[in-house]
């Protein structure tokens, strides 16, 4: 596969806008890569400029990098299948998490059999996008809002549903130190509600301490971060697990919409290898 240069990445960013929602996640990654050099990743295509497969493959420079997912966009499942079976673009001896369109699940199971590796589907999400963030209205709540900082990393990691100790802590650190975030602080300056931005530019890790729920904090933070991302030229979107109806209703109430024909899935291979990562 071909590794895209900086100039080619700018062209890829434009090309991917024509294939939303399927391409939105890889588009978000490239938007970040083109503006913030904070999460080293290789962007690979099957051919250039008329690509039909695009990978966002995080560089594995330290143990915690094995936790990061590889995002894949394709317009041709057969080409993707052949790449996964016939090339060494991925290391099938290591833990792999692939973020893909759910429609490719059966093909990936076939690849797993061909490669002789265990596979499981971790979770399935709606991709919810806000087309016009300028329509958001800010509610006047008596709250103190700030950005998260380095001292908050352990707290955020400890409450994250998908946290895996030191593996996920490095990802949380990267998000807090390099990408937009916001939080509500209590009277002693401690975060009680927060939201972050992933390296894919998706909003996420929205959390409110149990004793501070039902106060409108989540809605306020989503609104603030959505406006910030939009003002900086980033897409405004998020992933909501299918079973998470409260979050689905929250984002819907703010104008986010989901394509009913599309679901994003995280397919994991060699899960046992994660704890053995060098």
Is residue 73 domain-shared with residue 32, that is, in the same domain? yes
Q: Is 145 helix (H, G, I), strand (E, B) or coil?
A: strand
Q: Are residues 201 and 160 in the same domain?
A: yes
> Are 83 and 28 part of one and the same domain?
yes
Confidence of residue 276 (pLDDT cuts 50, 70, 90): low
Read off φ and ψ for residue 84, nearest 5 degrees.
-70, -30
> How sure is the predictor about 45, in pLDDT bands with cuts at 50, 70 and 90?
very high
User: Do 107 and 175 belong together in one domain?
Assistant: no
pLDDT of residue 274: 66
Are 217 and 138 contained in the same domain? yes
Query: Which residue segment(s) compose the domain that 146 sits in?
Result: 133-258
Residue 271 pLDDT:
76
194 and 213 fall within a common domain: yes
158 shares a domain with 116: no
Query: Which CATH number belongs to the domain containing residue 160 in this structure?
Result: 3.40.630.30
- Which pLDDT value is given to residue 202? 98
Are 173 and 247 found together in one domain? yes
Assess whether the previous peptide bond of 21 is cis (omega < 30° from 0): yes
pLDDT tens for each residue of 175-186: 999 999 999 999
Spatial distance between the Cα atoms of 146 and 226, rounded to a whole number of angstroms: 15
Residue 66's domain is classified under what CATH number?
Answer: 3.40.630
**DSSP code string of the chain:** -EEP-HHHHHHHHHHHGGGTTTTHHHHHHHHHHHH---S-EEEEESSSSS-SEEEEEE---SGGGGGSPEEEEES-HHHHHHHHHHS-SS-TTS-EEEEEEGGGHHHHHHHHHHHT--EEEEEEEEEEE-S-GGG------S-EEE---GGGHHHHHHH-TT--THHHHHHHHHHHHHS--EEEE-TTS-EEEEEEE-TTS-EEEEEE-GGG-SSSHHHHHHHHHHHHHHHTT---EEEEETT-HHHHHHHHHTT-EE-TT--EEEEEE-GGGGGG--
Same domain (yes/no): 116, 8: yes
Co-location of 87 and 163 in the same domain: no
pLDDT in tens, 206-251: 999 999 999 999 999 999 999 999 999 999 999 999 999 999 999 9
Q: What is the mean pLDDT of the chain?
A: 93
| Shared domain check, 49 and 141 | no
Q: Do residues 151 and 237 share a domain?
A: yes
**Please, which pLDDT band fits residue 277 given cuts at 50, 70 and 90?**
very low
Number of domains in the chain: 2
Above 60 in pLDDT, residue 278?
Answer: no
Tell me what pLDDT residue 122 has.
Answer: 85
């Amino acid at each position: 596969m071909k590794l895209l240069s900086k100039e080619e990445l700018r062209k890829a960013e434009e090309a991917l806008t024509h294939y939303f929602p399927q391409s939105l996640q890889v588009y978000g990654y490239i938007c970040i890569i083109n503006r913030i050099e904070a999460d080293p990743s290789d962007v690979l295509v099957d051919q250039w400029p008329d690509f039909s497969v695009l990978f966002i493959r995080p560089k594995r420079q330290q143990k915690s990098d094995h936790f990061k997912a590889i995002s894949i966009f394709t317009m041709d499942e057969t080409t993707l299948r052949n790449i996964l079976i016939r090339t060494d673009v991925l290391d099938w001896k290591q833990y792999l998490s692939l973020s893909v369109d759910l429609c490719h699940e059966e093909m990936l199971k076939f690849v797993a059999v061909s490669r002789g590796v265990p596979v499981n589907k971790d979770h399935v999400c709606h991709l919810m996008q806000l087309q016009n963030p300028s329509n958001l209205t800010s509610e006047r709540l008596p709250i103190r809002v700030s950005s998260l900082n380095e001292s908050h990393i352990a707290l955020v990691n400890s409450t994250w549903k998908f946290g895996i100790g030191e593996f996920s802590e490095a990802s949380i650190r990267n998000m807090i130190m390099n990408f937009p975030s916001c939080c509500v602080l209590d009277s002693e300056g401690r975060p009680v509600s927060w939201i972050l931005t992933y390296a894919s530019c998706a909003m996420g890790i929205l959390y409110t301490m149990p004793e501070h729920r039902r106060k409108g904090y989540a809605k306020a933070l989503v609104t603030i971060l959505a406006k910030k991302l939009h003002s900086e030229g980033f897409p405004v979107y998020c992933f909501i697990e299918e079973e998470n109806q409260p979050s689905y209703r929250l984002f819907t109430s703010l104008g986010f919409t989901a394509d009913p024909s599309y679901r994003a899935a995280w397919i994991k291979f060699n899960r046992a290898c994660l704890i053995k990562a060098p």
